[in-house]
Structures are given as C-alpha cells and as structure tokens.
Amino acid sequence: MSCLNYTEMNKTSMMKSYEEVRTEEISHFFMAIATPLVCSFGVLGNILNLVVLTMEKYQRTLTKMELSAHMGLIALAFSDFMFCLLALLFTLLPLKDVYELEDYVVYYDWLGGGFITIFIVISTWLIVVMAGERYMAVCHPFKARKLISLRKTRISITVIFVLCALCTVPIFLEKEIVRCDNSTFLRVEDRKMFTRPIVAARRLAWSVCFDFIPCASLIYFNIILILKIRKAKQLRQNMAPLQREKKIAIRPAKRNGSVKFARELNIHHQSHSQSSSFSHSNVSGKLTVHLTRKRAADSALNSVTATLVAVVLLFLILVSPSELLKFVLEYATSSVDKYKVKLVRSVTNFMQALNFSTNFVLYCAINKSFRQTLTKIVCLWWIALLPKRKRKGSSDSMTSDERNNMI
C-alpha cells in the first residue's frame, strides 16, 4: 500500500459512530492529558527518590539487610525514572502514521516501545527480588544472614538489567521502518515474518515469565509479610502494658535510693560493696543501650518492610491487571473491536504510569527516615537559594548587634 492511498484511507474513514467518537475522546484524555501529567510528576519524584535514598545510604548507619534493601530501592527508582521519561516522550512527541525522510521521530516510534518495555520488566523483577529478600529477612533471619549480602545484591541487580534487556530483543525485531513507493515518506510496520500466531506465542511466553510468575510470587510474599507485620504489631501492643508497669515500679525506686531499689526488687545481698553495685548499674546500663539499639534496628526493619509491602500492593493493583487485560483482549479472544483495544491500551498505560510515578508518595507517607532526610535536603536547598542580599543583611545585623554589645 502506498503512502498516498494510506492517507486517503484515513481521510475517508472520518465517518465514525458515536461509540467510536467517545472512545477516542476518552483515549485522548488519558494519553494526551492524564499520562503526561503523571509521568512529569514521576520524573521529578524519582529524581528525589534517588537523591534521598542515596543520602540515607551514606549518612545513616544501616545494617546489611537495610543496605541491600536500599540498593534495590535505588535501582527501582532509576528504572522507574527511565520509564517515566520515555513514556513522557511517547506522549509528547508527534507520532504519526507517515513520516518524512528527515523526521527523526520515526526512530522513536520504532524503538520507543521496546525501551519502555525493558524498564517495565526490570522494575517488575526488581520488586520480586526485593520482596523475596525481605521475606527471607523477616521469616528466616538466620538463613538470610548467610544468603543476603551487598555483593550478591549488586550481582542480582546487574543480572536483572542484562537479562531483561536480552529478553526484550524480539520486541525490537517485530517492527521495521518501510520506505513508501515514492521514496519521500517512511512508516513503521510490523514485519511479515512475525505473523499473528507467532506474536501470540511470544506474548504467551512473555506473560508467563513477566506477568504470571511475578504476580504469584508477589502475592505469596506480600501475604506472609503482612501477616508478620500484624503479628509483630499485636505483640508490641500486648507488651506495652507490661513496659508501663515496669516504668512505674522503677521510678519510685530511683527516687528512694539504691538501698530501697534493692529491697523492692527482693535483692537480699545487702553486704555487697559499692563496687558491686556500680558493676550492677554498669551492666544494666549496657543492657539498656543494647535494647535501645535493638528497638531502633527493629523499627528500621519494620519501616523498610512496610515500604516494600506498599510498593508491592500498588504494583499488584495497577500493573498486573493491565498486562493480563491487554493479553486477553489482543490474543485470547478471536474478534475484538480495534477501538476497544485502543481504549484498553490507553487506560492500562495510564495505570502503569501511575504505578511507576507514585512511589515517592508512598515513601513519604510510610517511611519516617525518608521524610526526615527529605526535609533536610529541602532545608539545605532553601538556604542555598536564599538571595545573597538577605544573607548579607543578616550578617550585617549580627555585626551591629555585636558592636552594641561591645559598647
């Protein structure tokens, strides 16, 4: 088919039904308005994720488990950033049916979908690996100390990036740039060798490896983690009254001195010297410090676990159903209206963009240390962006006050 006939066919197909017009309007809203806004927010949010998580990694004293989780979150933020950037370009660039020879947008139309897919599957398997590590850390802590390490986490992240890029190669091969009959226009078409059964088989294998297996794994890991979090919360609630009673019993003992404190605790060794009492207080002080550090480590571990559970839940709600729905409509059914397929693609693309753009909101809502680090960064930026006149004026006022004090 020549490009002239192609454009004439588009002109003659202006007579559309009411349902088709409404479908195109909804698709235009999602692809031209909603998705660009969400992707723009995602680009900014993932940049902040990279900055905050990197600063947390170097400023806080993190355990081996926390460092591994932070490395996974940093890799996830980079993958989400690339997805949001490429998806934003996909919605903003003028993609056409026919391109001129000097129009370089045709190359993005050819390769852009494949690169977007790469970062979708990378983010998917990064979440699966992090959920698996968190499951080991919470449910099997002794085995996790042997299996989880920074070196293994780096290797797993690198393997995910490489394997996902290699698995996406068939998507790049499915389309090609074709020159029109008059040799002045170009268009992107499906290769003839990739027939519908071949593409359906590839899509089925793709759904098994990158949709069904990750979805089932995330559902299992998330259920176990949620049950563990609820059990730990109930245990803390049950222990809270006992801790309050101990604090109430210890306060009067401190006021009445060490002798009364010993009597209330039924310590009958009154002949101990001052050195023994000092050693006893020293041991109790060390025990208190150890318990404080353990509580801080447990709270940090619970914070990371809760953050990852929220990320997995958002992924299961927004990404997994969209991939399954696209597969069912395009390949599992025999005859589907093309306008319905276009509408489903627009809505599911928006859902995926929403998933990869809102992790910043989840981190701010759930992770307390993330909020604290973000507040420090904002304060430092605000101080750095203050006008020099204000800083100079404040310094002059300080010097004048000092002079008045000197007088």
Question: What is d(CA 189, CA 187) in angstroms, rounded to the nearest whole number?
Answer: 6
Question: What is d(CA 202, CA 190) in angstroms, rounded to the nearest whole number?
Answer: 14
Q: Which of 43, 23, 21 is nearest to 31 (CA)?
A: 23
The confidence score (pLDDT) of residue 43 equals 96
pLDDT over 60 (residue 271): no
CATH T-level topology, domain 20-234+299-377: Rhopdopsin 7-helix transmembrane proteins (1.20.1070)
List the single range of 81-95, 231-245, 346-360 with lowest mean pLDDT: 231-245
Q: pLDDT of 37-60, one tens digit each?
A: 999 999 999 999 999 998 887 766
The answer to whether 1 touches 189, Cβ cutoff 8 Å, is no
List the single range of 9-13, 56-60, 223-227, 304-308 with lowest mean pLDDT: 9-13
Instruction: Count CA within 13 A, CB hemisphere, residue 286.
Output: 5
- 20: confidence class by pLDDT, cuts 50, 70, 90: confident
The confidence score (pLDDT) of residue 332 equals 54
Q: pLDDT of 280-314, one tens digit each?
A: 444 444 444 444 444 444 444 567 778 888 888 88
Question: What is d(CA 65, CA 298) in angstroms, rounded to the nearest whole number?
Answer: 11
Higher-scoring residue by pLDDT: 147, 389: 147
Provide the pairing of β-strand 185-190 with 99-100: antiparallel
Q: pLDDT of 181-192, one tens digit each?
A: 766 788 888 888
Per-residue pLDDT, averaged over 244-258, amounts to 55
Question: What is d(CA 81, CA 283) in angstroms, rounded to the nearest whole number?
Answer: 50
Which DSSP symbol is given to 156? Answer: H
Instruction: Count CA within 13 A, CB hemisphere, residue 163.
Output: 14
The answer to whether 55 touches 363, Cβ cutoff 8 Å, is no
CB-count burial class (<10 Å; 0-12, 13-18, 19+) for 57: middle
The confidence score (pLDDT) of residue 295 equals 45
Higher-scoring residue by pLDDT: 299, 32: 32
Q: pLDDT of 312-348, one tens digit each?
A: 888 888 887 776 776 676 655 555 566 777 788 888 8
Query: 161: which 2 tokens?
Result: 């990036």
List the single range of 22-36, 101-115, 295-309 with lowest mean pLDDT: 295-309
- Identity of the highest mean pLDDT range in 83-87, 262-266, 286-290, 298-302: 83-87
List the single range of 195-199, 349-353, 399-403 with lowest mean pLDDT: 399-403
pLDDT over 80 (residue 237): no
pLDDT over 60 (residue 4): no
Q: pLDDT of 55-64, one tens digit each?
A: 887 766 667 7
Helix (H, G, I), strand (E, B), or coil: what is residue 100? strand
Question: What is d(CA 75, CA 50) in angstroms, rounded to the nearest whole number?
Answer: 9
The confidence score (pLDDT) of residue 162 equals 96
The confidence score (pLDDT) of residue 333 equals 55
The answer to whether 221 touches 134, Cβ cutoff 8 Å, is yes
- 391: confidence class by pLDDT, cuts 50, 70, 90: low
Dihedral sign computed on CA atoms, order 236, 241, 242, 245 = positive
